[in-house]
Amino acid sequence: MTELTPPYVILFDWHSTLVDTADAMYHAVDDMLQKLEPLGLAERLVRPQDSKTEEDARLVEYVRDNHRLHAKIIADKKISRTDIFEILFGPDDEAKHIAHEEFNECYRRHFGEIHPFEEGIDEMLIQLHAMQLKLGVMTNRNREFLEQEIRYIHLSGWPRLFDVMVCGDDVERRKPAPDLIFRALDEIGVEADRHTWYVGDSTTDTITAKAAGVTSIFYNGASWEDDWLRKIFPGNERFPHKPDAIVDNFRQFYRLVEHTIRNARYH
């Protein structure tokens, strides 16, 4: 963890960070992968030798051969849809755009149960709001899904706690491009700097934060071990981006916010 700048704005990833919609998400991803050939995406999968890790290369090979996710990935529920698309298509932004659009069509068929990713999130959001921090939500999914989901959650009036909500179809480029962060901060009326914290559960979220020049907080809700975290954040020339801090739960995150603000007041 690096020395953190106290937050004025905290932006949260939505899926697999604040809320759990994993079952519907994985069903929709599998539906999309079955259409790789007609979508022209099969030949655009990255070469395994270009993958970040051996595990990523195996995922690409399995999808190439089977046009679906391995059952263990679905059972573990540890990898986001955005990260899956990054692993499969790498820097091919057009391929990822096609995949995201088809995913949205498939997700409509599976949209269902939603609940907070862990207990106590609503209390944490209320406490952060009471600290006069600006709060926001960002998601690569379309606005129609976020608006439905946030109405279903409605715990403690969640919609009233957020100063901004930005979705994938609000911007030209989805994560890992920084457009969502820039759009959110523009709506709030602040510049992108280290006083904005972006909290997300994926390597894509970390890349997005770094591209925008804001503080990256990695939410380790999947309970990855340290060895795996070092593997997915190698900090080398090819994959330089590493989070500024890692938290395992939102109790820990709230203590980190308090500690950073308190330290800033004493210095």
Q: Which of 47, 80, 107 is at the close of a domain?
A: 107
What are 252's two structure tokens? Answer: 């820990």
Q: Are residues 66 and 126 in the same domain?
A: no
What are 92's two structure tokens? Answer: 């091919």
Whole-number Å distance between alpha carbons of 113 and 104: 17
Find out whether the peptide bond into 240 is cis, omega within 30 degrees of 0: no
Which pLDDT score is estimated for 156?
54
Phi, psi of 12 (to 5 degrees): -110, 135
What are 45's two structure tokens? Answer: 């999968």
Rounded (10°) CA dihedral 10, 15, 20, 26: -160
Which pLDDT score is estimated for 116?
86
Residue 246 lies in a domain: yes
Whole-number Å distance between alpha carbons of 116 and 122: 8
Residue 182 lies in a domain: yes
Q: Are residues 37 and 161 in the same domain?
A: no
Q: Are residues 169 and 75 in the same domain?
A: no
Per-residue pLDDT of the chain (267 residues; tens, 9 = 90+): 568 999 999 999 998 899 988 888 899 999 999 999 999 999 999 998 899 899 999 999 999 999 999 999 988 888 888 899 999 999 999 999 999 999 989 988 887 668 888 999 989 999 999 999 999 999 998 898 888 888 777 655 677 889 999 999 999 999 999 999 999 999 999 999 999 999 999 999 999 999 999 999 999 988 999 998 998 899 998 889 999 999 999 999 999 999 999 988 765
Domain housing 62: 22-107
Q: Are residues 168 and 241 in the same domain?
A: yes
Residue 3 lies in a domain: no
Domains identified in the chain, total number: 2
Which pLDDT score is estimated for 155?
54
Whole-number Å distance between alpha carbons of 234 and 68: 28
Q: Are residues 144 and 230 in the same domain?
A: yes
Strand partners, 12: 137, 199
Q: Are residues 204 and 74 in the same domain?
A: no
Residue 2 lies in a domain: no
- Is there a contact between 218 and 12 (Cβ–Cβ < 8 Å)? no
Residue 232 lies in a domain: yes
Q: Which of 107, 125, 152 is at the close of a domain?
A: 107
Q: Which of 107, 138, 170 is at the close of a domain?
A: 107
Which pLDDT score is estimated for 31?
96
Q: Are residues 220 and 130 in the same domain?
A: yes
Residue 1 lies in a domain: no
* CATH number of residue 210's parent domain: 3.40.50.1000
Q: Are residues 90 and 137 in the same domain?
A: no
Longest dimension (CA), the chain: 60
Three-state DSSP state, 172:
coil
Q: How far apart are the first and last CA of the chain?
A: 19
Which pLDDT score is estimated for 190?
96
Q: Are residues 261 and 137 in the same domain?
A: yes
